[in-house]
A and B are shown apart, each in its own frame.
Chain A
Amino acid sequence: GIQVEQSPPDLILQEGANSTLRCNFSDSVNNLQWFHQNPWGQLINLFYIPSGTKQNGRLSATTVATERYSLLYISSSQTTDSGVYFCAVDGSSNTGKLIFGQGTTLQVKP
């Protein structure tokens, strides 16, 4: 099956700093989603981005499907950005069965 690897596993930032989170996947995918899991455990959708680039406020994401990776950019980080960021992909069967990476744990210090 498809393997999803996220890096770095842990990241500590000072408030106001920028960061880039990476997601590599081992095979072609139909769908790719980025999530933020807040301290209460809720998975919040950030981006649905099987290819191309999207932006939403201080967050943006780029997926290069041909090279099998996606990047999540966080600019001017805030303490509320803390939490775990997951990348998840849906393989070529397009059933929506998401395969998750192990996540990047982000801590933003004031």
Chain B
Amino acid sequence: GAGVSQSPSNKVTEKGKDVELRCDPISGHTALYWYRQSLGQGLEFLIYFQGNSAPDKSGLPSDRFSAERTGGSVSTLTIQRTQQEDSAVYLCASRIGVGNIQYFGAGTRLSVL
């Protein structure tokens, strides 16, 4: 597609359930990023994939959060045993390489009841 695509756009779940959020980056972009935007914390980095290298997970807030990127393209962010504080907008971005612009998707708004 022309831009970064994320699905679903909205997700409502119950506390304790697992959720999966999907990101389809711009074709040919080797780097993929996940960020979270919440009222209290602003925009914060979560995890970064570059090519076939091991991901940089330094921003993940707990071990309930994980992500994978299959075939160097689509990425899935998984949150296990969701908590109310996980409610936020999860944003995905990609870029073609070092020193280039990051392009953001429209985000997934997650609400944990």
Contacts and interface: CB of A to CB of B under 8 A. Distances in A.
Given A40-B106, A42-B106, A43-B104, A100 B99 contact: no
Nearest to B100: A48
A98 B98 contact: no
B26 interface: no
Which residue among A86, A95, A102, A103 has the maximum number of chain B CB atoms within 10 Å of its CB? A95
Interface residues of A, number: 21
Interface string A32-71: 0101000011110100100000000000000000000000
Contacts of B100: 48
Interface in B94-113: 95, 98-104, 106-107, 109
Nearest to A102: B42
Contacts of A40: 106
Contacts of B91: 43
B39 to A, nearest CB: 11
A99 B45 contact: yes
A99 B102 CA distance: 12
Interface in B60-113: 89, 91, 93, 95, 98-104, 106-107, 109
Contacts of A31: 99
Contacts of B101: 33, 45, 48
A102 B31 CA distance: 24
Nearest to B44: A100
Interface of A: 30-31, 33, 35, 40-43, 45, 48, 86, 88, 94-100, 102-103
Interface of B: 31, 33, 35, 37, 42-45, 48, 50, 56, 58-59, 89, 91, 93, 95, 98-104, 106-107, 109
29 contacts: A33-B101, A41-B37, A41-B89, A41-B106, A41-B109, A42-B106, A42-B107, A45-B101, A45-B103, A45-B104, A48-B100, A48-B101, A86-B43, A88-B43, A95-B48, A95-B56, A96-B48, A96-B95, A96-B102, A97-B45, A97-B48, A97-B56, A97-B58, A97-B59, A98-B35, A98-B43, A98-B102, A99-B45, A103-B42
